[in-house]
Structure formats: C-alpha cells, structure tokens
Homo-oligomer: A and B are copies of this chain.
Amino acid sequence: MTKQRSPAKESFLQVPVCPIEVTTPQSTDDLLTRMERISFQGRNLAIARRIWERMIADDVLIFFGMAGALTAGGLRLAVADLMHKRAFDCLISTGANLYHDLHETRGRHHYLGSHKVNDVALQAENIDRVYDTYVDEDEFIDNDNWIADFVSELDPRPYTSRDFLHQLGGYLWKQTGTDGILTAAYRHNLPIFCPAIADSSLGMALSQARHINQNTGQIDVIGDVIESANLINQHPRTASVVLGGGTPKNFINQASVQAAFYDPSITGHQYAIQIVTDVPHFGGASGSTLDEAQSWGKLSADAGQVTVHADATLAFPLLTSALFDSAANALKNRSSPKFSTDGQSLVMDGCHIPSVRFSTTNNRSP
C-alpha cells in the first residue's frame, strides 16, 4: 500500500480532520468542540472560543470592539451579558450600536423586515431600513430629543467619549432600570470608547444639544486616544476581540501602538480574535489580517490569534453560548482589572488614567 511517511511529511500530517457528528439533542458547547476538528471558518470559530478561554485564564486587559449594525441585528443583550460576566473589560463601539442600544433600552424596538422591500414606500412611512430590519424614524427623533435635552444640561466642558457615555449610561439606568450595553457598562464602571461618535446618531443628538445650549455637546476624542493608551501603559498585557472592522478594530490596535510610543516595552496584544466579513486584498484596515497587524506591532509576534470570516449574527451567538458554558468557572475566578470613576477620571486598579498626558514607563503605577 502506501509507503512509510518521512519525518518531514509526518510533521505536517499529525491531527486528522474528524468529520463532524451531529447528535440529538446537542449542546452548543459540544457542537463547537467538535468543530475544532473540521476545517475552514467552522474550525476558526471553534479556535476563537479556545483563545477567548485563554484570555480569561491569563492576566490580560481584554478589549472588545463592535462595528456593523450588531445592536439592530440582535446582539445587544449578549454583549451586555459579556460585561456582566466580565468576559471583557473595555468596549470600543461605533456610535450607531450605542444609539440603537439606547433605543431598545428605552423600550422601543427594531423590527423584522425584508431586504426586498420598496425603500421609497418605507421612506414615505418614516421607516429606516438596516438590510432586513426596520426602525421607526419618529422614535429616533424622540431619542434625539431625549439625548439632546440630557446633554444640554451637562457641564459646559469637553467630555471624552468615555466620560460622556458613562454619564449617558447612568442617566439611562436611572430613567429605565433596564439592561443593555450602556447601562451594563455604567453599572460595572466599564469604559466604553466611541472614537467616531460624531459619525452617528449620537453625534447628531450632541450637535442638537449644542443648538439648544451653545456650550454643550463638546466631545474630546483626542482625550480618548490618551486614555486608551494609558490603560495599556497601566496594564500592558492585553487582548482584543473584535466584531467587524471599522473604527473599533483600528482604535484598539492604535491604543497599543500609541502606548508603545512612550513605552517601548509594550509589544502589542497577546491574543486577538476577529470576526470579519471584509477581506484583506483590497488594502482596507477593516479586512486586514492579524499577521499584517504584527508588522505594525499591534499584535505580539507570538500572539494567539484567529480570524473568523463570518457574519457576526451567525458566528457570535454560537461562540458566546459555548464560551459561557465551558468558561463558566474561569469567568467566576477571573482576576480582571477593577474599574471605577472619580469625577471626570477613569480609575483602573486604583490608578487614575489621565486624558491630558501620557503615562510612561517611568511613571507607570506599581
């Protein structure tokens, strides 16, 4: 029959693909475990779960990024649950996901729709479409006014997006007592950064607040750059989990590069998971590989990393369902950074995180 394999050949052919077996009933944990032995993106999703487990077991500050219409898409409470269970520490989001979260936390809804609808007919009814999902534009206008009223009463000073979103989450929690991304972050004091906040309905509402009260609606996005880098200076071992590309993906990586600018001992994330639909070969950052990130020093040269090429609405429910099962104990025992706030300042593990100057190696808190 076939001849004996050479040692070099053996080194390549070690672990056979094991065709997946579907049992009934089957837990998501069992299914995803079996998917570790198949191929392509199914395997990559299974690997993503194991890398996330390693993040949880290790002493790393975990960043979580979300871009794309994931709140409208139905992932809002799963993200909130990740915060409740402290499966990550710091959220970077597009403005839309936070605005849509506020919309639902205020008791309104997105609606199941179709991408094969007449959009002019929707426009006539003031209905906005997000692919196969609808939302009532009149309710959005009500949100805008609600936010603008709140903002126009804030102090007449610039707020980092992190600071502003903490204030907004707190007000929302007091008004609604309802779970969601903004309210969960507020209750756990977890920071949310929104570097492109101007490019969203949150930015529109902030601009409307300024129309009401000229000294309000000031967002200090450069302060966000400093704060996020200082988090890493303070806790140099980091990890990233990113859904979609866009500004969240880049901002998480930039924070690491910016921290290294003042502290060369910082070498990039120790672990990285991305679930993306963009591809690398058009050169955009959203689709860039994690290898490419290594050239920039965004990712440690020996990082545990995986890219899952998939729609998050398909991949993320299975991933979190299996993770919450297999990592239940590890999450309970996780030694995660402790966050609080002090006036305008974020505090991590007892240290103030400044937004006006960078911490450096020499002044890193012990």
Docked-complex contact A109 and B39, CB < 8 angstroms: no
- Judge if A59 is at the interface, Cβ distance under 8 Å: no
Smallest CB gap from A107: residue in B: B1
Docked-complex contact B74 and A17, CB < 8 angstroms: yes
Contacts of A210 in B (CB 8 A): 222-223, 226, 356-357
Docked-complex contact B218 and A220, CB < 8 angstroms: yes
- Judge if A183 is at the interface, Cβ distance under 8 Å: no
Smallest CB gap from A101: residue in B: B19
Docked-complex contact A217 and B211, CB < 8 angstroms: no
Asked if A73 meets B40 with Cβ closer than 8 Å, knowing A122-B12, A123-B297, the reply is: yes
Contacts of A279 in B (CB 8 A): 277, 279, 281, 309
Interface 1/0 per residue, A313-341 and B, CB below 8 Å: 11111101100110010000000000000
Smallest CB gap from A36: residue in B: B112
- Judge if A244 is at the interface, Cβ distance under 8 Å: yes
Docked-complex contact A314 and B125, CB < 8 angstroms: no
**A142 CA to B1 CA, complexed, in Å:** 7
30 A-B contacts, Cβ less than 8 Å apart?
A2-B136, A6-B125, A17-B73, A17-B112, A24-B328, A39-B74, A39-B130, A39-B132, A41-B282, A42-B311, A42-B313, A42-B314, A42-B316, A68-B284, A68-B285, A119-B294, A122-B295, A123-B301, A128-B295, A130-B288, A132-B283, A198-B222, A204-B225, A204-B254, A204-B257, A207-B222, A214-B357, A246-B286, A277-B282, A310-B314
